[in-house]
Amino acid sequence: MMKKFRFLSLVMAGALCLTLAACGGSGDSGAGGTAANPDSGAAAPDSSAPGNGGSTPSGAAFKIGGTGPLTGGAAIYGNNAYHGAQIAVDEINALGGDIQFELRYEDDVHDAEKAGNAYNTLKDWGMQIFLGSVTSTPCVATSAESNSDHIFLLTPSASSTDVLGGVANPLTGTVDVPRKDNAFQMCFMDPNQGDASAQYIAQNGLGQKIAIIYKNDDVYSTGIYNSFMAKAAELNLEVVSTTTFTEDSQNDFSVQIGDAKDKGADLLFLPMYYTPASLILSQCSAIGYTPKFFGVDGMDGILTLEGFDTTLAEGVMLLTPFNADAEDERTVNFVTTYQERYGEIPNQFAADAYDCVYAIYEVLKSANATPDMSASDLCDLLMNGITGITFDGLTGEGMTWDASGAVSKSPKGMVIENGGYVGMD
Amino acid sequence: MKRLNISRNTRSNFATYAMVIIVFLVLQILGQGGMLSSTLKGQLVPICAYVVMALSLNLTVGVLGELSLGHAGFMSVGAFAGTVAAVSLQASIPSAGVRLLVALIVGAACAALAGFLIGIPVLRLNGDYLAIVTLAFGEIIKSIVNNLYIGMDGGGLHARFLNNTMTLGEGGRMILNGPMGIPGITKISTFTAGFLLILVALFIIFNLVNSRSGRAIMAVRDNRIAAESVGISITKYKMMAFVISAALAGAAGALFAQGQTTVIATKFDFNTSILILVFVVLGGLGRMWGSIIAAAALTILPEALRQFSEYRMLVYAIVLILVMLATNNPQIRGFFTRLSKWIKDLLLLRFRAARKLAGETDQKGGGEQ
C-alpha cells in the first residue's frame, strides 16, 4: 500500500513538472524569444502591440539585455525595471523606424554569482547592448564582465560607485576599482545622494539633531550613509544617533527608534528602501515619536506599498528623480500604460529603465547605427555618443553624461502631502 | 572477505578519480573546440568550488556523522582571506597561477584556524545541539565579515572593525569594504585549477578515510561509547575531521571568490550552507562520487531551467523532490540494481566466451570458478 502511494507521488510530481515545462515553454515561444516574460498574462498585450519588432528575426533589431531580481525578495525592483524597459521598447518599435529593439531580461535573484550566469545567458542569446543589472551588487559583477567583453552598459538603477569604477571612496579618498569605461548610470550615484541630502538638510535648516538608521549589510544604504556622514562633518551637522540593521533584523526597529528618541533627535534620516522605512514610520507613530523624516530615492514607492497606512507618511521628505503623480504628458502616458498592463503604479526603477532605453535609442539614431553591427562596435559608438547628448526623460530634464559614467541631473526634493508628492521648493 | 571489501573500496575510489578526470578532459576538449556556451563556461569554476564544498561537508556529515549547518561560514573565511591575499600580492607575485595557489593556501589555513577555534566549543556537543551551534557560528562569521574593513597602501595592510576610520597613503586602496565586500577581483581561478583542487580534496579524503585515523573517526560516528571504551580520543578525531573539512571548505571558498568579480559576505549565508547540505544528502552520505555529481548537477540545473522563467525555482524544487524520491524508491533502486547486474552479467558472459575461445585455441583455458 505504502509502496503504491510512493510510486503515485513520483508520477504526480513528474506530471506536474511536465505541465510546468509545457507552460513555461509555450509562454516563451509565444513571446518570440523577445523576453522571458515573467507574467504570461501580460504576454498577450505585448504581442498584440502594433509592429512589435520582437517577432522580427534577429539581425533586424538591436538585442538589448538586462538582468534583475525577477523573483525573490527584491523582485519588485527587477520587475519594475523590466516592465518599464518593455514599455519603452514597444513604443519605439511601434514607431516603425529603422531602429527596432528586442528586449530580454534574465533573473539574477539579487545575487552576484547568478547575475554572472544571467549575463552569460544573454551573451549566448547574442545581446548587443546591456542594461546592466537592476540592483547594485549584481551590477558590480556584470559591469566587470561586460567591461572585459566590451559591451555597452547603461544601468537604470544600480547606484553603487563600484558599478562605474574610478570614483573615490568618500571615506578614504582612494580609488578602489578602476574606471570601467563601458559603464554608465541613469540613476544618481550613492555618494551624490548622501551629499545632496546633507546639503539639503543644512541649507534648509531642517533639523538640529539628526539621527540615522541604515542597513549595514546593504551596499546602497551604506554607500549613502558614508557620504552623508562625510558631508555632514563638513557642514557641521550634528548627528546624535547612528544605528544599524541588517537583512535578518529588519522586522523590528524599536531599539533604533528608542535610541534616536532618547537622544532628542528632531530629524530621522532613512537611507534605505521603502519596505523597512514603512515599518519605521509606523513604529515611530505607535510610540508617539514625531521627528521629521528624510528619505532618499529608495523611499519612492512607499505610497503604493500594500497594507501601508499612507497617512503615516505625511510630511516625509525625500529626494527622488521621479514622481508618478507629475502632470506632464510623458509621465501621465507612461503611468497610464504601465497601470493598464501591469496593474500597479510604476516606481522610479521603471521610469529609469524606460529612460535608459530612450537614451540608447537617441544615441543610436543620431549615429545611424544598424543592428548588424557587433556589440563591440556598438559599445564604442554608444560610449562616444552618450557623452555628447542632452537627454530629457521621465526622471529629469537636460540629463548629460561625462566620461566618468555618472549622470548629471538634479534630484527633486519632494514632500508627501495628502497622499501624494509635492515639490519642496 | 575482508580483502574483497577493501578492494571494492579502492575500486570505487579509483572510479571516482577516473570520473573526474574523464569529465575534465571531455569539457576541456569541448572548450577547445568552442562547443561550450558562455553560460556553462562561466559556471565551470563555481561548479568546481561547490564540488569541493560538498566533498568537504560530506567529510563532516557522512564520515564524522555530525550535522553542520554553518559550512558556508568556512567558505566565507576562505573566500575573503584568500582574496585579500591575492589582491595584496598582485604587485609582488605577477604569475596568476602562483597567486591563486597562495590564495588557496591562505584561504585553507584561515578556515582551518576558524574551524579549530569553533571546534573547541562546538565539538563538545552532539547531534541537534551541534547543528544549531554551527548554524550560529556561520551567522557570526557573516556578521564579522560584514563589518570588517581592510585596506592596503605602501605601509601594508590595515584593518578596522565596525567603522571605516582608516586613512590610506598614496596609491592605497580598500580591499574589503564592509558590506560592499570586495568589488574589483581579478579573475584568476581557472577550470584546471578547480579540477586539480577537486583531485587534491578527493586524495585527502580517501586517504584519511582509509587510514587508521579515518577508521577511528568512523568508529566515533558509529558508536561513540564503544569507541571511547576502546581508548579512542573522541575530541581528537572529531577535531581532526572537522578542521580538515574546514580547510577544504576554505580552499573552495578561495577558488570560488577568485572566479568571481565581486564577493559579499551575505553570499555565504544560511541558504548557501543548506544548499551544500542538499548536495551531500542527495549524493548520499559518505559517498564522494555522489556528492560530486549532485553538486555539479544542482549547480547547472537552475541555469538550465532558465526557459521556465519565473517557474524556474518551482521546477527546480520539484526536480529535487523527484530525485530524492527516486533515489529512495525501492522499486527504482531495484531496477537500477537489476540493470547494473544485467550489464555485469552481459560483460561477464562476453568475457567468459572470449576466455573460452582463447582457451580452445590454446590447450586448456584457465580455471573457472
| CATH number reported for the structural domain that contains residue A208 in this entry | 3.40.50.2300
Q: Is B126 on the interface with A (CB under 8 A)?
A: no
Interface contact B264-A137, CB threshold 8 A: yes
Q: How many CB pairs below 8 Å do chains A and B form together? A: 163
The predicted model gives A245-271 an average pLDDT of 90
Residues A145 and A168 in one domain: yes
Per CB-CB distance under 8 Å, the chain B contacts of A217 are 146, 179, 265-266
Whether A3 is in a domain gets the answer no
**CA dihedral (B37, B42, B45, B48) positive or negative:** negative
pLDDT of residue A3: 53
- How far is residue B356 CA from its own chain's centroid? 46
Where in A3-149 does DSSP place strands (E)? 62-68, 101-107, 129-133
**CA dihedral (B197, B201, B202, B204) positive or negative:** positive
Residues A203 and A316 in one domain: yes
pLDDT of residue B360: 66
Residues A271 and A288 in one domain: yes
Half-sphere exposure (Cβ direction) of A226: Cα atoms closer than 13 Å = 26
Q: Which residues does B91 contact at the CB level (< 8 Å), separation at least 6?
A: none
Residues A401 and A365 in one domain: yes
Looking only at the bridges linking them, the beta strands covering A267-270 and A129-133 are: unpaired
Per CB-CB distance under 8 Å, the chain A contacts of B261 are 112, 116, 140-141, 144-145
CA distance B121 to B107: 22
Whether A348 is in a domain gets the answer yes
Nearest CA distance, B142 vs chain A (angstrom): 10
pLDDT of residue A169: 80
Residues A197 and A314 in one domain: yes
A102 in Cβ contact with A124 (< 8 Å): no
Per CB-CB distance under 8 Å, the chain A contacts of B330 are 3
Interface contact B331-A113, CB threshold 8 A: no
Give the pLDDT of chain B (369 residues) as one tens digit per residue.
444 555 778 888 899 999 999 999 999 999 988 888 989 999 999 999 999 999 999 999 999 999 999 999 999 999 999 999 999 998 888 899 999 999 999 999 999 999 999 999 988 888 788 889 999 999 999 999 988 999 888 778 888 887 777 778 777 888 998 888 898 899 999 999 999 999 999 999 999 999 999 999 999 999 999 999 999 999 999 999 999 999 999 999 999 999 999 999 999 999 999 999 999 998 888 889 999 999 999 999 988 888 887 788 888 889 888 888 887 778 877 887 788 788 878 877 877 777 777 776 655 444 444
Q: Which residues pair with A104 in a beta bridge?
A: A65
Q: Which residue of A has its CA nearest to B304?
A: A121
Looking only at the bridges linking them, the beta strands covering A407-408 and B148-153 are: unpaired
Q: Which set of grid coordinates corresponds to residue A162?
A: 563600484
Interface contact A173-B311, CB threshold 8 A: no
Given phi > 0 = left and psi -120 to 50 = alpha, else beta, which region is A68? Answer: beta
In chain B, DSSP finds a helix count (H) and a strand count (E) of 13, 3
**Which domains, and CATH codes, for chain B?**
13-312 (1.10.3470), 329-369 (no CATH)
CA distance A410 to B332: 65
Per CB-CB distance under 8 Å, the chain A contacts of B326 are 10
Residues A200 and A314 in one domain: yes
CA distance B129 to B136: 11
Residue among A143, A54, A45, A146 at smallest CA distance from A103: A54
State the helix-helix crossing angle for B38-58 and B234-258, rounded to 10 degrees.
Answer: 170
Q: How far apart are the first and last CA of chain B?
A: 16
Residues A71 and A162 in one domain: yes
Whether A29 is in a domain gets the answer no
Whether A6 is in a domain gets the answer no
Given phi > 0 = left and psi -120 to 50 = alpha, else beta, which region is A150? Answer: left
Q: Which set of grid coordinates corresponds to residue A281?
A: 514610520
Nearest CA distance, B156 vs chain A (angstrom): 15
Q: Which residue of B has its CA nearest to A15?
A: B318
Interface contact A13-B177, CB threshold 8 A: no
- Work out the number of other CB atoms within 10 angstroms of the CB of residue A57: 9
A219 in Cβ contact with B179 (< 8 Å): yes
pLDDT tens across A339-353, in order?
999 988 888 899 999
Containing structural domain, residue A356: 59-188+331-408
Cβ neighbourhood burial of B92 (10 Å; 0-12, 13-18, 19+): exposed
pLDDT of residue A43: 36
**CA dihedral (B182, B183, B184, B186) positive or negative:** positive
Amino acid type, B360 = E
| Threshold 0.90, pTM exceeds | no
pLDDT at A409 over 70: yes
Q: Which set of grid coordinates corresponds to residue B10?
A: 579502492
ipTM: 0.86
Residue of A21, A120, A144 lying closest to B42 (CB–CB): A120
pLDDT of residue A50: 37
Residues A290 and A197 in one domain: yes
Whether A93 is in a domain gets the answer yes
Whether A54 is in a domain gets the answer no
Residues A364 and A303 in one domain: no
CA distance B137 to B146: 14
Whether A420 is in a domain gets the answer no
Residues A242 and A315 in one domain: yes
Residues A66 and A140 in one domain: yes
Q: Which set of grid coordinates corresponds to residue B221?
A: 560516528
Q: Is B158 on the interface with A (CB under 8 A)?
A: no
Residue from B310, B332, B333 whose CB has the most chain A CBs within 10 Å, to mutate: B310
The domain total for chain A is 2
Q: How far apart are the first and last CA of chain A?
A: 75
In chain A, DSSP finds a helix count (H) and a strand count (E) of 13, 15
CA distance A387 to A401: 5
Q: Which residue of B has its CA nearest to A28?
A: B307
Residues A291 and A371 in one domain: no
Whether A36 is in a domain gets the answer no
Q: Which residue of A has its CA nearest to B168?
A: A172
- Work out the number of other CB atoms within 10 angstroms of the CB of residue A390: 11
Q: Is A393 helix (H, G, I), strand (E, B) or coil?
A: strand
